[in-house]
A and B are shown apart, each in its own frame.
Chain A
Amino acid sequence: NAGVTQTPKFQVLKTGQSMTLQCAQDMNHEYMSWYRQDPGMGLRLIHYSVGAGITDQGEVPNGYNVSRSTTEDFPLRLLSAAPSQTSVYFCASSRDRGPTEAFFGQGTRLTVV
């Protein structure tokens, strides 16, 4: 039972490079989301999806793109990496939009130099 799987666990990028952070869940959850964690800021929502083909912006969406072609996968794309995007990224999924807890992946630590 894998739950939510994120790859890679660590990544170093140069400013201006692009990359995709992968997220997959095997719980058949409809709702998936991406958060970033920064010191003193808690976790902030970047983008979320309520089902395949449906995505929307969260609190801090600038510089990131998402798509949801399947229920299982929700990749996060950094279009042109900036040092301000140095952070720990967490993908989460939950059963539906009701009052239910979210399950988180182990995180991707990204450094942009």
Chain B
Amino acid sequence: DQQVKQNSPSLSVQEGRISILNCDYTNSMFDYFLWYKKYPAEGPTFLISISSIKDKNEDGRFTVFLNKSAKHLSLHIVPSQPGDSAVYFCASTNAGGTSYGKLTFGQGTILTVHP
């Protein structure tokens, strides 16, 4: 039972355009959501997060949107750059419970930004 799903295995975008990566979750206890970026042969690195008390969080070119009623979040990258080409994972947790920071990850989306 996949509690966090990224239904698009890959996404291809032209440099300068917007990249939109999507993530759906089923566990209503999740209240904190994170996006990680992973380059080949490296560990995932934290990108941006959002608490369930918000519906939007921005950090430079990266914005995460949360729709709690739809149990859906998305990551927008504007403008996209070739260096953004990587695998993007969304992750969820129940920060206020006994999860002790345990993260549940989606399958990942491979983003390719073409020059």
Contact = CB atoms under 8 A, between A and B. Distances in A.
Interface string B81-112: 00000000101010100011111111110000
A97 B99 contact: yes
Interface stretch (B42-50, B58-66, B72-80): B42-50
Given A50-B100, A99-B32, A42 B46 contact: no
Nearest to A100: B101
B4 A107 contact: no
Interface string A60-80: 000000000000000000000
Contacts of B45: 104
A44 B102 CA distance: 10
Report the contact-size class of chain A (Cβ under 8 Å from the partner).
20 to 34
B49 A105 contact: no
Contacts, number: 66
Contacts of B46: 101-103
A107 B107 contact: no
B101 A96 contact: yes
A102 to B, nearest CB: 6
Contact of A105 (B9, B32, B43, B101): B43
A82 interface: no
B34 interface: yes
B100 A43 contact: no
